[in-house]
A and B are shown apart, each in its own frame.
Chain A
Amino acid sequence: MVLFKSSQRMKKLEYGKGSEPCAVLSSSLDETTAGIKQVLGDNDDLVIKSFKVFGQYEAAIFYFSNLVKQDSINHDILKPLMYVPDHLKDRNRPLSQLAELITKETLYHSQAQPEQSMEKVIEFILCGETVLIIDGMEEAIHIGTRNVEKRSISQPETEQVILGPREGFIENIQTNLALLRYRLPTPDFQVKTMKIGRLTQSTAAYCYLKGIADENVVQEVERRLSEIEIDAIMDVGYLEQFIEDNPFSPFPQIQSTERPDKTVANLAEGRVAIFVDGSPFALLVPVVFNQFYQTTEDYSSRFMMGSFVRMARMLALVFSLIFPALYVSFISFNPELLPTEFAIAVAGGRAGVPYPAVVEVLIIEVAMEVLREATVRLPKQVGGALSIVGVLVVGQAAVEAGLASPITVVAIALTTIGSFATPAYSAAFALRMLRFPIMILAGIFGLYGVVIGIIFIFNHMLSLKSFGVPYMAPVSPENYQGMKDVVFRAPLWLMPRRPAFLNSRNRRRLSQSNKRNGFDHE
């Protein structure tokens, strides 16, 4: 709130862009104090503490009381400054050398830097640093005392695994980068940061492995990120919408993840990860569609298990997209396809239902969507109860009231469960959404409509690109090596290369001396 209050004046200063010449600090303490007060003075949590450095120079420190570590200020800044340290007692302490003396010999703090620009000084204060200004000196010294409350590292809520690491990213970008650094102690791991958002001044970072990631992609990421002009970035999802290739596609073209292990695995394949302060998600680019139904567990478990689970998931994916449409076309268009006994039984079940199958399925589907949204928003304790009430009671009642046939309820239930099996929420959502047009097409043309709808979707997916990489790679354009990791997951030792579609300069994943060597000898 504090920040917002001062927003109007901040705009006048136009931070970060450097369009105006920097106002330089004056050497007078009073003048500088007045200047800072003019910008930040309305805030009650701004602390201005005057004291004398070494008992001889008038000085003041500025900081926001909520953003700093108070102990550190008392012990590491004020104490050494007010009480002259032993090794300095006998020395001459002229004003001209004061800045160096203080940063190098006095303060017990690793992050103390001189700064001359008024604009920067205010920015530092706003970010939670402490600024020391000494009368007569033309530089201010800013000291990194920022201390913001952060939650502890916990299990990622959206991507749970049975076997595998339990860490998830948190909102603090420094912690997130630390989690990556700890897994990638290599000089190739590169982190580049920039500030995005006029108001929020959010730190955005993109990281990649030098020599593995495609330079073109890295430059493209840099370019797209730097083109963003917005006042506030609340989440990494804001960035996603600015940098994705085709915003009108229902399919996500960037993957977001909460898992450091997944991020590292993707970096090692040659992707780029994007972070923003305040968001516990990382964006991974470029992506291909098959990533959205893969989980880290596929790789950490043994390959047969991984492959089997993945195939089940693919089936669920297909189910969630076309099952209701197939149901509609079987019921209303081609009942001759069903075995006679079953067909007659289904007809019996539907006998009392007043609506055509399309309408019936649409009603139940919409109800299901509402229910689902409701359960997401409700507190956990209530949510469980509601879903049971919703599904069991409403479903049962709908059947008994003749609003829907029991088989419809079965079909929709299967579909809904299927859509939960897709690990990536955004991809599952795309299919959930596309289900409706396909259902309508099925209502008009039956099976033929379903196929037309599917062709339409596939054609769209085939024309999509994510940072220059075809979305349906490695299926089309084809790549034999890549196909080992699409429907099933080949053993790790049989996949010696990084995905070809990522154009990484270093293609080898396994080293050639590996004992179980799947290298095709070129």
Chain B
Amino acid sequence: MRRNKRNLVLLLLFVLLLPLLSGCWDAMEMERRANILAIGIDEASEKEQEKDGEVAHLKKSFQMPNQKLIKVTAQIAIPGRIPLGPDQGGDQKPVLVMSVVGHTLEDALLNLQQQVADELFLGHLRIIVLNENVAKQGTKRLNDFLRRNPEIRRTAALVVSKEAASKYMKLAPDLDRVPSLYLADMVDNLSSLGRFPPSFIGLFWTIYSSKGQEAYLPYLTIKQKDIIELKGLAYFKGDKMVGKTSPLEIGVFMAVKGDSKGGYGAFVHVPGTDQMVMVQVRSRKTKTKIELKNGRPHVRLKVRYECEIDEKESPKVKINDSKVLKSIEKETAKDMRMSIEKLIATTQNAGSDVFGFGEHFRAKLPRYWNRNIKTKENWEAAYQQLTYDVKVDTFIHRVGMKAK
């Protein structure tokens, strides 16, 4: 009994002490946070350079880095404007789009905070759009802040845009009430549709950190007024973007990378005719073998495609004959091999090993790696000298529901 009483006193003390000690430090109601849903990062134009907010530094005291200022455009959700439940949407714009300039992302966001009443909240940041020019200058100065901030989702999307990133923030697609959500969903769905290998900001960092591979990001462009299109794959060298591919080459890239989810199709010339059929890739299987040929790295790539024919151009081609199919398979394989080789050659010129061959060497030939390579820079140089041979097998399994 006595012990119980003492326990009770302790419990009471505990309960009484807590509110005294506390002040709900971290409580910040959801509607009082300015939810940043998307950020677009551009180079600041000469005129905008002047607008630097002097929030985090005084102009003179800051040792100006050589880099230009960046312009950050943020899309902020306005509580109450985005309706709860269906069919309540008014004509008001549900988001607020604001632009600020700064030396780094953090600097810019501090400037932004200066202009917004509620506390900025990055927990719902779904997508970051980098303008091509910014990407080419390097992503280092953005990464550090994003990595340190615990609010940032590691699964947020990071994309490169052809146009000014601020334009993406101002888009108003009709399909979703919140524009950035449409954008984010679109990017997120790319990989599940097989249009793009998995890509999110955490993966970007992971690849960037590892020594034997280079990062890649989706490359977007604005088609018409409010339509966005996946225009290719931006590949990086270190933290700097060095080039982009065509949309079809994304499929090729995925083949080399070993991403099994197929989504791309291509017209293949039917041998012996002047007709084309559409060959759609359903899945792929990639084997990467590495070896040292005369002390130099060599890659042997074996890709196996499982395809089906979706469409033929004219009734002249008969695809209900297994011989014809065989020849189409061969033709496809040849086409594929050529495009793979071409893509590898292109990236070699840029010195960007987006395929991650270097990781294979690091993992499987540690002695060679430790003696000759060791650093990312060395591998970038070695990659340009990499030799490879590619073997492609194609199998057409289905031709759809039509017999002829």
The answer to A–B direct touch (Cβ < 8 A) is yes
Q: What residues of chain A lie closer than 8 Å to B24, measured between beta carbons?
A: 332, 356, 358, 443-444
A60 within 8 A of B: no
Q: Which one of B81-89, B199-207, B275-283 contacts A?
A: B81-89
Do A335 and B123 form a contact, CB below 8 Å, given A340-B37, A350-B79? yes
A184 within 8 A of B: no
A246 within 8 A of B: yes
Size bin of chain B's contact surface: 35 or more
Q: What residues of chain A lie closer than 8 Å to B30, measured between beta carbons?
A: 331-332, 335, 343, 346-347, 350, 357
B29's partner among A247, A336, A357, A446 (CB-CB below 8 A) is A357
A348 close to B124 (CB less than 8 A)? no
A299 within 8 A of B: no
Q: What residues of chain B lie closer than 8 Å to A446, measured between beta carbons?
A: 26-27
Q: What residues of chain B lie closer than 8 Å to A350, measured between beta carbons?
A: 29-31, 79
B294 within 8 A of A: no
A residues 430-481 in Cβ contact with B at 8 Å: 437, 440-441, 443-446
Cα A246 to Cα B81 in complex, Å, equals 53
Do A248 and B7 form a contact, CB below 8 Å, given A335-B30, A336-B153, A347-B77? yes
A351 close to B79 (CB less than 8 A)? yes
Interface 0/1 of A206-242, CB less than 8 Å to B = 0000000000000000000000000000000000000
CB distance from B88 to the nearest CB of A (A): 9
CB distance from A81 to the nearest CB of B (A): 56
Cα A341 to Cα B182 in complex, Å, equals 11
A374 within 8 A of B: no
Interface 0/1 of A250-285, CB less than 8 Å to B = 000000000000000000000000000000000000
Interface 0/1 of B118-129, CB less than 8 Å to A = 000101101000
A482 within 8 A of B: no
Interface 0/1 of B25-54, CB less than 8 Å to A = 011111101010100000000000000000
CB distance from A449 to the nearest CB of B (A): 9
Cα A2 to Cα B153 in complex, Å, equals 77
Chain B interface helix/strand/loop/mixed: loop
B22 close to A444 (CB less than 8 A)? yes
A345's partner among B19, B27, B33, B85 (CB-CB below 8 A) is B85
Q: What residues of chain B lie closer than 8 Å to A392, measured between beta carbons?
A: none
B377 within 8 A of A: no
B residues 2-26 in Cβ contact with A at 8 Å: 4-5, 7-8, 15, 18-19, 22, 24, 26
B26 close to A347 (CB less than 8 A)? no
Q: What residues of chain A lie closer than 8 Å to B222, measured between beta carbons?
A: none
Do A340 and B27 form a contact, CB below 8 Å, given A247-B4, A348-B81? no
B390 within 8 A of A: no
Q: What residues of chain A lie closer than 8 Å to B65, measured between beta carbons?
A: none
B35, B126, B181: residue with the most chain A Cβ atoms closer than 10 Å: B35
Do A437 and B84 form a contact, CB below 8 Å, given A333-B27, A335-B30? no
Cα A407 to Cα B84 in complex, Å, equals 10
B residues 80-103 in Cβ contact with A at 8 Å: 80-85
Q: What residues of chain B lie closer than 8 Å to A441, measured between beta carbons?
A: 18
A246, A335, A441, A446: residue with the most chain B Cβ atoms closer than 10 Å: A335
A341 close to B77 (CB less than 8 A)? no
A333 close to B26 (CB less than 8 A)? yes
Cα A357 to Cα B33 in complex, Å, equals 13
B35's partner among A333, A343, A440 (CB-CB below 8 A) is A343
Q: What residues of chain B lie closer than 8 Å to A357, measured between beta carbons?
A: 27, 29-30
A349 within 8 A of B: yes
Chain A interface helix/strand/loop/mixed: helix
A336's partner among B4, B31, B151 (CB-CB below 8 A) is B151
A344's partner among B26, B27, B82, B184 (CB-CB below 8 A) is B82
A136 within 8 A of B: no
A248 close to B27 (CB less than 8 A)? no
Q: What residues of chain B lie closer than 8 Å to A351, measured between beta carbons?
A: 31, 79-80
A247, A350, A358: residue with the most chain B Cβ atoms closer than 10 Å: A350
B124 close to A344 (CB less than 8 A)? yes
Q: What residues of chain B lie closer than 8 Å to A384, measured between beta carbons?
A: none
Cα A312 to Cα B30 in complex, Å, equals 31
A residues 311-359 in Cβ contact with B at 8 Å: 331-336, 340-341, 343-353, 356-358
A356 close to B27 (CB less than 8 A)? yes
CB closest residue in chain B, given A249: B4
B399 within 8 A of A: no
Cα A407 to Cα B37 in complex, Å, equals 22
B79's partner among A336, A347, A356, A358 (CB-CB below 8 A) is A347
Cα A306 to Cα B19 in complex, Å, equals 43
Q: What residues of chain B lie closer than 8 Å to A407, measured between beta carbons?
A: 84
A406 within 8 A of B: yes
Do A348 and B181 form a contact, CB below 8 Å, given A335-B30, A440-B19, A443-B24? no
Cα A289 to Cα B43 in complex, Å, equals 64
Q: What residues of chain B lie closer than 8 Å to A334, measured between beta carbons?
A: 123
Cα A248 to Cα B3 in complex, Å, equals 11
Cα A333 to Cα B150 in complex, Å, equals 13
CB closest residue in chain B, given A329: B27
Q: What residues of chain B lie closer than 8 Å to A332, measured between beta carbons?
A: 24, 27-30
A residues 96-132 in Cβ contact with B at 8 Å: none
Q: What residues of chain A lie closer than 8 Å to B22, measured between beta carbons?
A: 444-445
Do A347 and B35 form a contact, CB below 8 Å, given A331-B29, A333-B27, A437-B15? yes
B350 within 8 A of A: no
B248 within 8 A of A: no
Interface 0/1 of B328-343, CB less than 8 Å to A = 0000000000000000
CB distance from B301 to the nearest CB of A (A): 39
Cα A348 to Cα B94 in complex, Å, equals 10
Cα A345 to Cα B86 in complex, Å, equals 10
Q: What residues of chain A lie closer than 8 Å to B153, measured between beta carbons?
A: 336
A348 close to B82 (CB less than 8 A)? yes
CB distance from A113 to the nearest CB of B (A): 42
Q: What residues of chain B lie closer than 8 Å to A246, measured between beta carbons?
A: 4
Q: What residues of chain A lie closer than 8 Å to B85, measured between beta carbons?
A: 345
CB closest residue in chain B, given A448: B26
Do A343 and B124 form a contact, CB below 8 Å, given A348-B80, A352-B80? yes
Cα A350 to Cα B77 in complex, Å, equals 14
A356's partner among B29, B33, B123 (CB-CB below 8 A) is B29
Cα A135 to Cα B81 in complex, Å, equals 98
Do A335 and B33 form a contact, CB below 8 Å, given A441-B18, A444-B18? yes
A347 close to B31 (CB less than 8 A)? yes
B299 within 8 A of A: no
A340 close to B181 (CB less than 8 A)? yes
A residues 353-411 in Cβ contact with B at 8 Å: 353, 356-358, 406-407
Cα A440 to Cα B35 in complex, Å, equals 25
CB distance from B76 to the nearest CB of A (A): 11
Cα A347 to Cα B83 in complex, Å, equals 9
B178 within 8 A of A: yes
B84's partner among A247, A406, A445 (CB-CB below 8 A) is A406
Cα A444 to Cα B15 in complex, Å, equals 12
26 A-B contacts (beta carbon < 8 Å)? A248-B4, A248-B8, A331-B29, A331-B30, A332-B29, A332-B30, A333-B27, A335-B121, A336-B151, A340-B37, A340-B181, A340-B184, A343-B30, A343-B124, A344-B79, A344-B124, A347-B80, A348-B82, A350-B30, A350-B79, A407-B84, A440-B19, A443-B27, A444-B19, A445-B26, A446-B27
Known contacts A346-B30, A347-B35; 15 additional CB pairs below 8 A are: A247-B4, A248-B4, A248-B5, A248-B8, A336-B151, A340-B184, A341-B178, A344-B77, A344-B79, A347-B31, A348-B31, A350-B29, A350-B31, A352-B80, A446-B27
Residues of B whose CB lies within 8 Å of any CB of A are 4-5, 7-8, 15, 18-19, 22, 24, 26-31, 33, 35, 37, 77, 79-85, 121, 123-124, 126, 151, 153, 178, 181, 184
Residues of A whose CB lies within 8 Å of any CB of B are 246-248, 331-336, 340-341, 343-353, 356-358, 406-407, 437, 440-441, 443-446
Complex A-B, nearest 9 residue pairs according to Cβ-Cβ distance, in ascending order: A336-B123, A351-B80, A347-B79, A332-B27, A351-B79, A347-B30, A347-B31, A444-B22, A349-B84
